[in-house]
Amino acid sequence: MNSQTHILRLIEPTSVCFLIPKKRGNGFLACPVGHHMTPTVRRLTEEIPDYNIYGLDGYLWVEMSSTWKKDDEIAHMTKVISDIFGFPWKDEDRQTWWSHLTDK
């Protein structure tokens, strides 16, 4: 069983980042989405259509076009990602969030 039970969300000035726990094993997914159109990628692009979404570097990175973000848009994308990956989420402070990627 994974010790990580929540998606960890970090709100940055021009993006929102998500660490996605593994369903089996410990830690977080190294590549939450890849280069190919999978059911997960299709659902992300259909349900969060107005943003660029990246996921090859150990976390999902949702790029925002400006530093101005609406709380309802962030809440919507968080709910979609939580539903797709099947984990609840919680906010994490910047230092702790990044430590999950650098403490390997």
| Domain contains 104 | no
| Domain contains 36 | yes
Question: What rounded mean pLDDT belongs to the chain?
Answer: 87
Instruction: Check whether 87 has a pLDDT greater than 90.
Output: yes
Q: What is the mean pLDDT of residues 66-86?
A: 86
Domain hosting 58: range is 7-91
| Domain contains 28 | yes
| Domain contains 100 | no
Residue 72: what pLDDT? 86
| Domain contains 85 | yes
SS3 content of the chain, % helix, strand, coil (to 5): 30, 20, 45
Q: Rounded to the nearest 5 degrees, what angle is found at the Cα of 60, between the Cα atoms of 26 and 49? A: 140
pTM greater than 0.85 (yes/no): yes
Total of domains in the chain: 1
pLDDT digits (tens, 9 = 90+) for 12-54: 888 899 999 998 888 899 888 877 788 888 899 899 888 888 8
